[in-house]
Structure 1
Amino acid sequence: MKNTQSLNKLGLLACLYISQYIPIMFLLQALPVFLRQQGVNLDAIGLLSLIALPLILKFLWSPLIDRYGFTRWGHYRFWIICFQLLVAALTVICAFFDIETNFTGLLICILLMCLFCSSQDIATDALAVGLLEPQERGLGNGIQTSGHYLGAIIGSGGMLILLNYWGWRTSLLILAGIVVLALIPVLRHQEQQIPDVKELQTSGIVKSYFRTLINPYRDRRTWSWLLILSLYLAGGNMANTMFRPLLVDIGLSLADIGWLMGVVSHGAGIIGAIAAGFLIAPLGRKRSLILFGLLYAIAMTAYFLPAFGITNLPILHLVAISVQITLGAAGTTLFTIIMDKSQLATAGTDFTVQTSFIYFGTIGASAISGLLAQIVSYKGVFAIGIGITLLDIILINQVFVSNEIQQRSPLVFK
């Protein structure tokens, strides 16, 4: 019976994260390629970068999702159902847009889609915090990270294939259908009542908003953890960002790059995430964070092979696989600890604020990677990325003093 319940939880999370990331990855990765093919100018396509803003800023409205809900449907379940239906409806609307004559309307719709996907992410992460017991969180976050990768495979590569063969309208209607079908496990789920949420709801909205958003960060030890979050994946993202143009420079075709960086690397990431999910509990949180971070840094040294002219495809596949498999493991560990450090009554805010620091670090590192490459070459960027990762591991060893984070622990070190 217990095993059945655990499988049901993992199945629910898999459906939620896959369905949530399919539209996000479609908007961020597949749509710019399709629009360019349709003759949309680069300036207009550049505006698509604005749709990432809700992913970065979603912590600002996360306290409202923690505070308000429709208890009869389940607090976070209510939000997930609403946002997922809104995303499906907007996808249907976009399917009937004429891209050439109404690009502005399309841009507004996809910005709203990203806003709703980001907001759904708050509720989904909060639901997962309450759904998983501490001993289940390693595997649960392995499923979460795998959902990200699988959503990327379907939303980017899969949707580009559909667009190529079936066109804009049919492809988007299929996407909307997938989003609606993914609601079935959510509709069957009965969410348990969240403790202490009534106290949050009865206090003044301004007071509860700022208390939820700010209180955990008054402890200086929390800022050490947030610094770790900002750096842990930042160096790798800097290196990953420059690996793609390096592949172009060494002469790979778009098809080769798409297969290598889409299907092969994301598939390896799924394997790494699931493997880490099984290993985190026996290894422990701190040991896993250090071990998988070290393996990630070691794997990044493989980027030097193409940088020094070793460019045959089997080697490039091994490079992509080694980096992504360790990234999947490292990311799973990080999200497991983020979940540990989220309190039930404010899980949406606690989880979202922590992941926002990851976004700040990775996006910032990615933004300066091109400038650094012009100054110190690809090799220099890869060396800096590895150095940042190793520096963060030293920081983890110094400040991460808790052996295991106890159930429902606050966002501080014990």
Structure 2
Amino acid sequence: MAAPEARPARGLGSPLAVVLAIGGLYVGQSIIGGVTFSALPSVLRDRGLPLAQIGLTYLAVLPWVLKFLWAPAIERYRLPPTGPSRSRSIVLIGGLISAACFILAAAIGPTRFVPLMAILIVVAFAASTVDIACDGHAVESLSERYHGWGNAAQVGGAYLGSAIGSGLFLVLVARVDWAKAMIVMAVLLVMLGLPFILSPAITPVDGRSHRPSLRDALRRTGMRKGLALAALYAVSQKWGLAMLGPFLVDSGLDLDSLGIVNGAGGMIVGFGCALLGGALVRLWGARAIMVLALVLQAIALSGLAAAAWIGGASQWVLLGLALASSSAIMALGFVALYAQFMGLSDPRQAGIDFTLLQCMDALVSMIGGIGAGWIAQHFGYGACFGLAAFLVVLAIAPVAMLSHRSKLHVRSEVSSEPRQPLPQQS
């Protein structure tokens, strides 16, 4: 049965306005990730905490791993059978919780590890819930011709936010103090969420008949392949970078310099390579760019392993390898991966579909972060980076196979069923 012709929804706004609104949220979410997973390990190492304990900071990934459990409830609340979507209320509540927790973290300080981790896990729960609404809103608000803009907002916003969270934050900690740095981050979170909160809500003309569910997503072959792809890509691109910050600190780089490098790397190198990745995906396709990024990452991680084993490498060499692996190559590859994610998501329940793919990524990242801390503690940084490079090489062929025409398969599965008219750009 052919899908009925869709009628325009009210409240979509211009594509540029949608991209700017969701881009602000992606920047804010990445500030949280930058503070938690990049800046905090460096601060803790600077305060003398052991690597095995620093690896436990990746427990804050747990809400991102498990958010698929509450994604159906959030998506059904966000998309009522009739009336406007409730994305803005979800974003408002989640943003206020995150900002309040950052202020609380400012008060307790960085060395009280257990209460600090409890606060950051609450922040991660709020941010991951906001992410469900943001991803769903992006897919349903942007027609396919504007998906590239959405990918640019996701990846570019992620690197800009990470530059702030891991770069500016470290500079503020080094030059001012922890408390003021956390308060500045809290204020930024509120400001970045305002464009989305003030944007109009989407109201479909014909209502919504589809009931979002995990079962609907998991029964699709393309989605199951996408989950395997997300897991492999997280192994290959993220496991080797979990101990990069502590490695640079132990190599003699102070927090002030590291913050400047992280900020410049994320804002200039990462954002620039995200734009380059978007252009290359249009020219060569997502599959080719993902494979290229894996090859480059294997080379960069091998260089870090050699530097750790041999010792005595100049700080410029270490910084170059760090920028290449954590900013340039990651940005290039994740633009292609997110293009796959957007194509895999059914617009009727995009919050659930995108969430499933991100949860797999987060689960594998958490395992790798904890494991990397243990390996670095007991066998050294060289073994940590060397093993990661080996895993990247092993992942190249399976990633190429799983990403082959996965978007076409998913579209045919979804479009073969009767479906409710979806919002389109007017």
With normalisation by structure 1, the TM-score equals: 0.79
2:336 is matched with which residue? 333
- In the alignment, which residue of structure 2 is the partner of 1:204? none
| Correspondence for 1:10 among 13, 16, 19 | 19
Separation in structure 1 between the aligned mates of residue 347 and residue 46 of structure 2, nearest angstrom: 46
Give the one of 66, 70, 75 matched to 2:86. Answer: 75
Equivalent residue, structure 1, for 2:355: 352
SS at match of 1:275: helix
Contact 2:28/2:189, CA 8 A, preserved across alignment: yes
Amino acid at match of 2:393: L
8 Å Cα contact 1:150/1:266 also seen in 2: yes
Q: Write out aligned runs for 1:104-115 (5 A).
A: 109-115=119-125
Q: Is the 8 A contact 1:343 1:410 kept in 2?
A: no
Q: Secondary structure at the match of 2:345?
A: coil
Mapped pair 1:388 → 2:391: yes
Q: Which deviates more, 191-200 or 20-29?
A: 191-200
Gap runs ≥5 in structure 1:
202-207
1:294 CA displacement: 2.9
* Bigger relative contact order (CA 8 A; separation at least 6): 2
The answer for the alignment partner of 1:86 in structure 2 is 97
Q: Read off the aligned partner of 1:239 and give its amino acid letter.
A: G
Cα gap change, 1:153 to 1:221, in 2 (>3 Å): closer
> In structure 2, what is the Cα distance between the partners aligned to 1:345 and 1:124?
14
Instruction: Find the residue that maps to 2:202 and give its secondary structure.
Output: coil
Indicate how the Cα distance of structure 1 residues 349 and 409 shifts in structure 2: closer, same or farther if over 3 A, else same: farther
Matched-pair contact (CA < 8 Å) for 2:172–2:181 = yes
**Take 1:89 and 1:62, find their aligned partners in 2: how far apart are those partners?**
23
Q: What root-mean-square deviation, in Å, do the aligned CA atoms of Structure 1 and Structure 2 show?
A: 4.0
| Most deviating of 359-368 and 39-48 | 39-48
Aligned AA (2:161) = G
- 1:4-403 matches, within 5 Å, as 5-30=14-39, 50-69=59-78, 74-92=85-103, 97=107, 109-163=119-173, 167=177, 170-193=180-203, 198-200=208-210, 212-219=213-220, 222-261=223-262, 263-264=264-265, 267-307=268-308, 308-309=310-311, 311-323=313-325, 324-372=327-375, 378-402=381-405
Q: Which has the higher helix share?
A: 1
* Secondary structure in structure 2 of the residue aligned to 1:182: helix
The aligned amino acid for 2:283 is P
In the aligned structure 1, how far is the partner of 2:133 from the partner of 2:53?
32
CA distances 1:317-368 after superposition (whole Å, capped 9, x unpaired):
3212322201111011111211111111211111111111112222223333
The change in CA–CA distance for 1:30 and 1:370 in structure 2 (over 3 A counts) is closer
Residue deviations 1:143-162 (CA, integer Å, cap 9, x gap): 31222222222223323444
1:119 offset after TM fit, Å?
0.7
Q: Rate the CA distance shift 1:379–1:70 in 2: closer, same or farther, 3 A.
A: closer
Separation in 2 of the partners of 1:156 and 1:76? 28
Normalised TM-score (structure 2)? 0.77
Q: 1:399 to 1:195 in 2, by over 3 A?
A: farther
Q: Which amino acid aligns with 2:335?
A: T
After superposition, the Cα gap between the structure-2 partners of 1:226 and 1:37, relative to the gap in structure 1 and judged at 3 Å, is closer
Cα distance in 1, alignment partners of residues 367 and 399 from structure 2: 21
Assess, with a 3 A threshold, how the Cα gap between structure 1 residues 234 and 61 changes in structure 2: closer, same or farther.
Answer: same
SS in 1 for 2:200: coil
| Aligned equivalents of 1:368, 1:41: Cα separation in 2 | 14
Aligned residue for 1:311, secondary structure, equals: coil
C-alpha distance in structure 1 between counterparts of 2:159 and 2:404, whole Å: 31
CA distance in 2, matches of 1:117, 1:65: 13
Q: Share of identical aligned residues, percent? A: 27
SS at match of 1:68: helix
Q: CA deviation at 1:129?
A: 1.4
CA distance in 1, matches of 2:389, 2:60: 30
Confirm or deny: 8 A CA contact 1:145 1:331 kept in the other structure: yes
Q: Distance in 1 between matches of 2:303 and 2:205?
A: 48
